[in-house]
Structure 1
Amino acid sequence: MPVKPPHRAKSRLRGLTGLRGSHEELVLAMAADTLAAALDAPGVAGVVAVTGDPVAARTLAALGARTFCTERHGSGLNAALDAAAARLRDRDAEVSLGVLPADLPALRSAELGAAIAHAGGRRGFCTDIAGTGTTLLLAGRGPLEPSYGPDSARRHARSATELRGPWPSVRADVDTPASWLLAAGLGLGPRSAALARPGLVST
């Protein structure tokens, strides 16, 4: 689970009205809710937070994540993910790997587990709601080969099967005020919900 430094992440959410906390608190809350749901999902043995930010690392480690520091492992998201994958494979060559973004505050454990089960160990991916980005990427025991960035769904489709099913919370990443409202409509996790203004959160 890659996690940008909170002060640099989600710039399009700055100025989101009705929040009870700071922008940095919102970024960390979304990451914490994503982590908690992922740790409880069937088929998930553990979560590694891939981050160069010490505050994010400490926060998520306290909630049960292992951490991997991105320093000295090249620049950019894909390089950091490749480095973390190599470290994990050094420890266990047979481990099944996947990537989940840290901005799924409405994530449901059962839905993530269903998507993983649907993949059946094959390489697969889920798009975001817009259909152009990638949320979940599953590599199984094969190479991770992340290709995140603009239009990542098209690039991942070259080597992976798109996973389609009734799991909207797996696709509901939050980058903009509109996507925040969509996630709120699905039902935010407790940490994110605590920062939302009254009347916004669906229970």
Structure 2
Amino acid sequence: MMPTADLVVPVKPLAVAKSRLRGAADHGIGAQRAHARLAMALARDTIAAVRAAEGVRHLIVVSSDPVVAAELGVFGVEVIPDGPVPGLNSAYERGAALVRKRDPAAVVGALQADLPALRPAELDAAIAAALTLFRAGAQRAFSPDAEGTGTTFLLAAAGVPLDPRFGVSSAQHHEESGACRLRGEWPGLLQDVDTADDLRAAADLGLGEHTRQVMAPTVCIKPG
């Protein structure tokens, strides 16, 4: 599959990211260092899958956390800081604006940063499914999360605003805004991680190496 999409992945400051997972990496203690390592591992596994996907041309990470910028920068990942307007959707819009400034005809996408069981082939399949819908006249497409209420992935056709609507009931909001719901067999793309139960579900699918290393002393997991 030829590279066809540029993706934006925001990463919150590690000190405040994934608050409902606090304690998951250290038997409930909730130490800041252990929690930050887990949040960073989730993002690194997500980004590793993106970089290995054949359908992704370029990746932009949006984060003002210096640790995130330093760790990802070592591997050649482009990291830009958050803009003056806080929030997840603003981060997506900031990244998408940069993509379109460089290439107005780019297919641009938004991906959540907490997909540790994501496989590159799953992302390629979702991109291909969205492109098929675009050729049929659709302008935007999204993948819901495993519960069907949230969103893990949003893609906009060339020249179409990304118009991200992440947050509570985002699947409904994206659908109401005209985005088409993607349907396919890509469990790693659906399984975002907000809670300990989510993390166990992702472990059942097979965690990426970074999350696996962080969680190895804590839970019984399958290799990614």
Deviations 1:13-68 (A, max 9, x none): 0011556x700000001101100111111210121101121111221222232112
Deviations 1:120-166 (A, max 9, x none): 16321011111100001111221110001100000101221110111
Residue aligning to 1:126 = 143
8 Å CA contact 1:106, 1:183 repeated in 2: yes
Residue aligning to 2:122 = 111
Residue aligning to 1:57 = 69
Residue aligning to 2:172 = 154
**Equivalent position amino acid for 1:104 in 2:** L
8 Å CA contact 2:25, 2:215 repeated in 1: no
8 Å CA contact 2:114, 2:193 repeated in 1: yes
What's the TM-score, normalizing by structure 2?
A: 0.85
Residue aligning to 2:35 = 23
Give the 3 Å change call, closer, same or farther, for CA 140–100 of structure 1 in structure 2.
Answer: same
Match among 181, 186, 189 for residue 208 of structure 2: 189
What's the TM-score, normalizing by structure 1?
A: 0.94
Residue aligning to 2:18 = 10
**Equivalent position amino acid for 2:103 in 1:** D
**Equivalent position amino acid for 1:200 in 2:** C
Query: Which structure 1 residue ranges, 4+ long, deviate > 6 Å from structure 2?
Result: none
Identity within the alignment, %: 45
Give the 3 Å change call, closer, same or farther, for CA 155–61 of structure 1 in structure 2.
Answer: same
Residue aligning to 2:155 = 138
Deviations 1:90-148 (A, max 9, x none): 11111110011110011100011011101116321011111100001111221110001
| C-alpha distance in 2 between matches for 1:169 and 1:187 | 9
Question: Bigger CA drift: 41-50 or 163-172?
Answer: 41-50
Residue aligning to 2:93 = 82
Aligned length: 202
1:39-58 mapped onto 2 (5 Å cutoff): 39-58=51-70
8 Å CA contact 1:36, 1:63 repeated in 2: no
> 1:196 offset after TM fit, Å?
1.3
| C-alpha distance in 2 between matches for 1:63 and 1:34 | 14
> 1:200 offset after TM fit, Å?
1.5
**Equivalent position amino acid for 1:190 in 2:** E
Question: Bigger CA drift: 143-152 or 52-61?
Answer: 52-61
Unaligned segments of structure 1, at least 5 residues = none
| C-alpha distance in 2 between matches for 1:178 and 1:12 | 10
Give the 3 Å change call, closer, same or farther, for CA 31–17 of structure 1 in structure 2.
Answer: closer
